[in-house]
Structures are given as structure tokens and as C-alpha cells.
Chain A
Amino acid sequence: MGAKMVDFNGWDMPVEYPAAIGCGIINEHMAVRTGAGIFDVSHMGDIRLKGPQALAAVQHISMNDASRLAVGQAQYSALLYPQGTFVDDVIVHRLGEDEYLLVINAGTREKDFNWVRDNTLQFDCAVENLSDDFTQIAIQGPKAVDVLQKLTDADLSTVKFYWVTRGTVCGLKDILIARTGYTAEDGFEIYVPADEATSTRVWNESLIAGKEFGIVPCGLGARNTLRLEGKLPLYGHEISDTINVWEAGLDRFCKMEKPEFVGRAALEKAKAAGVTRTLVGVEMTGRGIARDGYKVLDDSDREIGYVTSGSPAPFLKKNIALAYVPPEFAVVGTAVTVEIRGQGVGAQVVPTPFYKRPKKNT
């Protein structure tokens, strides 16, 4: 395809596809917001927990409440260290009565699998690393449902957001189809057998099926700008092993009413102590682009925090960023300064997510 490749945590990944085939980050981003885009996300890892105590095991390692999941339902969650900081964020899918699938990040696959295995030894369930068995392909955007429906016998209109089903896709039987994504848009992630011939065929057939809906292949660059507009965290940026759940603002996915999970005790203490920094959305008011790692200053040029992710937002047509700042600077409307190559540039705390997809009336 002639995509620009980059080494991403040891994976050769496309950053963007060439302008010659109608791509480039801005076009890719816009296609997902208005039509459809397709992403090769086979770098994502998959861990299956299966057995009589699979639920108990998931409950022990995941901060969300998996007991609320019906078979076929999924939830966003995180795996935590005992100190309440992040091993990784995950999507927990309940595939069967006693079967759960955790979808994890590329850069942390090995670490995550070892951590899950080591922390579930006391439970009667099998923990398997299925990461190399699947190619994960994401079809995202308001037209994603129309694209995928052409390729599958599963009735996608009955699959709600954050639910999964199985169906024949491109002639392949019993393919896992999840209505999930990392773009703040409607869309699907499908898990096809990892052999290259099969993945390539599904990829190409999706592009053909999506042609009438303006589908374009999308790389990691657009994936990043899309998730940033939707304030979806990225490991190593908004969440890490030194950032806790309260700081990251992921409270609603952390169920403290659960009596026990790894990290809970520390989080209880941290909650009582209060946070010293919190994640905010920032929009540049001056001319400049905030980038990862740039310093955030107050009005007397005192360093108060740092940018975790910053970029031009192609759909919103603004320069936006996520940053950690002390809570007293987190109020929407607060003026802050971002230091860009030694120069202070004006910015302002704004409501997040920056982008929220329009609600459908169906």
C-alpha cells in the first residue's frame, strides 16, 4: 500500500497512508468522522479467561464490575497495580457463561499477560494469550455498520455499542464481531484468523465493500487524533504505572462498591487524601500546537503541569491537548500557558471530551 511505516513498540505499523490514494492523517480522520475508515489493529493483544472461576478472576484483576455483563456484552476497564496505578486499560468482553476476553494494548502485551496470569493463579480458570491467533481489524465511522453489514450474515442492527456477536464474515465462519473502537465514533472491531492470506483478503474485501461509503485505510496517526478528540486515554500518556485512577478521571469505570480488586485499598486511601493533579482538556488560544511532554505554566510562568497528548484536531479544527495540572487549575475557562520551544503560548481549559459523536434517533 506504500504506507509510511513506523516502529511502534516493536511493531511495524502504518502511521498514515499515502495522499496518492486519498489518505494522509487529515483525510483519514475526516473519513472516520463522516463516513468510514479501516484500521489494522492486529498489534492489540487478546487474553482469554475461561473456567468455573473466570468471573471471580476477572473481578479480582479488573476495576470495573464484570458481574454486570450479560453474555455478549463488553465494558471498558483497567488492570491496576496494588498502588492503584495502571498496568493497562482493557476492554472486557463476556463471550460465554464462564468465558471472558480481555483486549489489551500492543506495547504492554507481554507485561499484561504475565500480570494477568500471575494474579489469577488462585482461580479455577485457564488463562490463554490469544494475541497471535487473531488479526484485529477495526472498521470505524458512522457508515461502518453499512460497510460491515455487506460482509456478514450477522444482523448488526441488533448489536448495540459495547456488545459483541458472532457471525460469518467474508465467508469465514464464527467470527467475533465487537461494536467497539478507539475513535469516539460508532464502529466495529472484528477478530479474524491471523494468517496473512486471510487477513489480507478480509482487508481488501472491506475496502471494496466500503468504497460506496468513502472508506479509506487509516494508520496510527489518525487513530491518535481520533482518540484524542474523544479523550480516550493512551497508555504511557494519560495513564501509566505512576498515574492513578482518580488522577486520570476514570472514576466511572472503577467500581469501589466491589469488595475487592487489585489496587482497591490504595485507591481508597488515595481518594481520602485527594489528588494533587488531574487530567484536563486544553485548547490553544494562541498560535501554536501543544505536543506531548510540553510544560504547562500558570499566569506567572510557574510550571504547574505537562501535556500528555497534544495535536491539531482535524475535525474540530483546533489545536487541543490533554494535560495534568493541579485541581485548582482544572476549572473550565481557566487560562494557562503552554511552553512551546521556549515561548509561552496561551491556552484555556475546556470541557471534555472535545468531540462527542451526534446521537442517533434510532
Chain B
Amino acid sequence: MAYPTDRKYTKEHEWIQSSGTTATIGITDYAQESLGDIVFVELPKVGAELAIGKTFGTVESVKAVSDLYAPASGTVTETNADLATSPEKVNKDAHGSWMLKIMLKNPGELDGLLSAADYEKFVAEEGGH
């Protein structure tokens, strides 16, 4: 899997794509592959505050529950309502199925995240993918 270079990644397997002070967040293809069939996505409400590194929601597959960690701090401006009824879309296209849009508190936080190449290296070491 080639990871898109238009965004940053975390070691907790989220991606974040920013444009100025706004950003879109989702989970990586590696994450969806490890989880298996995704059946439930629980996201915060619009207006909720995210703190970098802290959990902001949950994704569940048939076999496992996994926390979602904020790749950056900010305020939720929009959630992908589609995932409430069709969570399997994350399996089909993890990098296209965004979960949250946020207003970034400090866009500089993204500088500390992984590039596509670094993330690819990271998951290759972690899971042998």
C-alpha cells in the first residue's frame, strides 16, 4: 500500500491532512487491515475539543475495540455521519473515509508527525506488512 504523501501520520495509525488551520482526520489502511471488518465508529460531537495524543473516539471491528488518538489538538467542526450507518467504508477506502474535520489549535503540531515514507517504514517494522 502506497501511503498518500499529502498528509501526516501517527504511530497510533491515524492520518491527518491539513490546509491552513483546518484539518481532516482518519485511520490508515494499515489500521483497517489490522482491525478487520469494521462495524462501529464512535466519534465526538461537533464542538468537542481534541487534545493531541488523547483518545477522541472508538472504532470497533467484529473482533476488537480500538481507541482513536488525536493526531493534533483542535475543535471538531464536522464528523462523517456516513460512517454511523456504513462503517465498512473505512475498510474499503481508509484514506478516503475521513472521520473528523477540526479547526487546528496549533498547526505547528503537525511538524512532529510522521511523513508517508516514515510511516510506511514504521508499519513495515511493526507488522511485517
> Which of A's residues lie within 8 Å of B, judged by CB?
4, 15-16, 19, 24-26, 221, 224-225, 288-289, 291, 311-312, 314, 341
Least CB distance from A127 to B in Å reads 36
Cβ-based interface call for B58 (8 A):
yes
Closest to A314 in B: B62
Instruction: Compute how far the CA of A26 lies from the CA of B37 in the bound complex, rounded to whole angstroms.
Output: 7
Q: Does B10 belong to the interface (CB within 8 Å)?
A: no
In the bound complex, CA of A288 to CA of B42 (Å): 9
Q: What's the Cα separation between A19 and B39 when bound, in Å?
A: 15
Collect the chain A residues with CB atoms within 8 Å of residue B34's CB. 4
Q: A26-B62, A312-B62 are in contact. List 8 more A-B contacts (CB 8 A).
A: A4-B36, A19-B91, A24-B36, A24-B91, A221-B62, A224-B63, A289-B39, A311-B62
**Mind listing 5 A-B residue pairs with CB under 8 Å?**
A15-B36, A221-B36, A221-B62, A224-B63, A289-B40
Q: Which 10 A-B pairs have the closest CB atoms?
A: A25-B62, A26-B37, A221-B63, A312-B39, A24-B37, A312-B62, A25-B37, A289-B60, A24-B36, A16-B36
Q: Is B65 on the interface with A (CB-CB < 8 A)?
A: yes
B91 / chain A contacts, CB cutoff of 8 Å? 19, 24
Inter-chain contacts of B61 with A (CB < 8 A): 25
Q: Which A residues lie within 8 Å of B40 (CB)?
A: 288-289, 312
* A289, B60: Cα distance in complex, Å: 8
B62 to A, closest residue via Cβ: A25
Judged by DSSP, the binding face of A is mixed
| B53-96 residues at the A interface, CB under 8 angstroms | 58, 60-63, 65, 91
B-side interface residues toward A, CB under 8 Å? 33-34, 36-37, 39-40, 58, 60-63, 65, 91
Minimal beta-carbon separation of B13 from chain A (angstroms): 15
* Contact with A25, one of B33, B58, B63 (Cβ below 8 angstroms): B63
> With a CB–CB cut-off of 8 A, which chain B residues contact A289?
39-40, 60, 65
CA distance A341 to B58 in the complex (A): 10
Tell whether, in the assembled complex, residue B37 and residue A311 are in contact, meaning their CB atoms are under 8 Å apart: no
Nearest chain-A residue to B67 (Cβ)? A341
Q: List the A side residues contacting B63 at CB < 8 Å.
A: 15-16, 25, 221, 224, 311
Q: With a CB–CB cut-off of 8 A, which chain A residues contact B60?
A: 289, 312
Q: Which residue on chain A has the smallest CB distance to residue B58?
A: A341
Bound state CA distance, A106 and B33, in angstroms? 27
In angstroms, Cα B19 to Cα A313, docked, is 40
> Which of B33, B37, B58, B60 is packed against the most chain A CB atoms within 10 Å?
B37
Q: CA A312 – CA B37 in complex, angstroms?
A: 10
Q: Which residues of B contact A291 (CB under 8 A)?
A: 65
CB proximity of B69 to chain A, nearest CB, Å: 15
Cα of A96 to Cα of B60 in the assembled complex, Å:
48
Q: Are A25 and B65 in contact (CB under 8 A)?
A: no
Q: How far is the CA of A341 from the CA of B63 in the complex (A)?
A: 16
- Which residues of B have CB within 8 Å of A311? 62-63
Look across to chain B and name the residue whose beta carbon is closest to the beta carbon of A291: B65
Nearest-CB residue, chain A, relative to B60: A289
Chain B residues contacting A26 (CB-CB under 8 Å) are 37, 62
Tell me which of B34, B39, B91 has the highest count of chain A C-beta atoms within 10 A of its own C-beta: B39
Chain A proximity of B68: nearest CB distance (Å): 12
Chain A min CB distance to B79 (Å):
15
Expressed in whole angstroms, the Cα–Cα distance for A19 and B35 within the complex equals: 12
Residue in B closest to A26 when the chains form the complex, CB atoms: B37
Q: Choose from A25, A224, A288, A341 the contact partner of B36 (Cβ within 8 Å).
A: A25
The CA of A312 and the CA of B87, in the complex, are separated in Å by 13
User: Shortest beta-carbon distance, A125 to chain B, in Å?
Assistant: 41
Among A15, A26, A225: residue with most chain B CB under 10 A: A26
Closest Cβ of chain A: how far from B57's Cβ, in Å? Answer: 10
Could you tell me the distance between the alpha carbons of A4 and B58 in the complex, rounded to whole angstroms? 22
Q: How far is the CA of A15 from the CA of B60 in the complex (A)?
A: 16
CB proximity of A310 to chain B, nearest CB, Å: 11
